[in-house]
Amino acid sequence: MKKTFDILRFTSWIAIVCSLVGSFLLFIVGAIKTHYALTTVLLGRVPNESLAHLDSSDIATAYLIKSLDTFLIALVLFIFAHGVYTLFISDKSIKNPKPVLKWIKTPNIGHLKNILGEVIVIILFVKFLEIILINLNSLTWEVLILPFSILLLSLSLKFLGLGRENHD
C-alpha cells in the first residue's frame, strides 16, 4: 500500500505544472494591465469606456491596482507550486537538502494554507480599494460588506493559526 501512495504522490505534478502555467499567464495579464495604465497616462487612451468618467490618473491608478492584484495572485500560484513540490515530490530522506528557493519555506500544509488565506485577504482588500476608487462619487452602504468580510476572514486566520510553528 505504501508503494501505491509513493507512486500516486507524483500526480501532484499536475497541480505544480498547472499552477506554474497559471502563474506565467497571470504575469502576462499583469503586464498588459500595467501597459493600459501607461497608455492612459502617456497617450490619453481610455481602454474601457465604463471608466471614461474618471480622470486619466484615476484610470491609471485603477489599472495599476488591478495589475498589483494580478501579480500577487501570480506569485501565490508560484509559491503554491513550490510548496506542493516541497511537500509531496522532493526527497526528504536527504540529510540537509539544499532548498530550491531559500525565500519560500513550506514546512507543512498548514503553512501553505496560511499563505493562501493571507493572500485572499489581501486580494479582497485590493478589490475594495479598486471599488472605492472607481465609484468614489456614488458610494452606497453596501460597499461596507467587503471590508466587514475582510475583517472576519482576517480574524478567522488569526484564530486558526495555520502554519504557526510551536516554539514550546
Number of Cβ within a 10 Å radius of residue 42: 10
Domain ranges of the chain: 2-160
Q: At residue 156, what are phi and psi to the nearest 5 degrees?
A: -65, -40
Torsion, CA 129, CA 131, CA 136, CA 141, rounded to 10? -100
Q: Which helix (H) or strand (E) holds 10?
A: none
As given in the structure block, the three cell numbers for residue 146 are: 467587503
pLDDT digits (tens, 9 = 90+) for 85-138: 888 887 666 666 666 566 677 777 877 888 788 888 888 888 888 788 777 777
- pTM here is 0.74
- pLDDT reading at 165 higher than 60: no
For the chain, give percent helix, strand, coil, nearest 5: 75, 0, 25
pLDDT digits (tens, 9 = 90+) for 37-78: 999 888 888 777 766 677 788 888 888 988 988 998 999 899
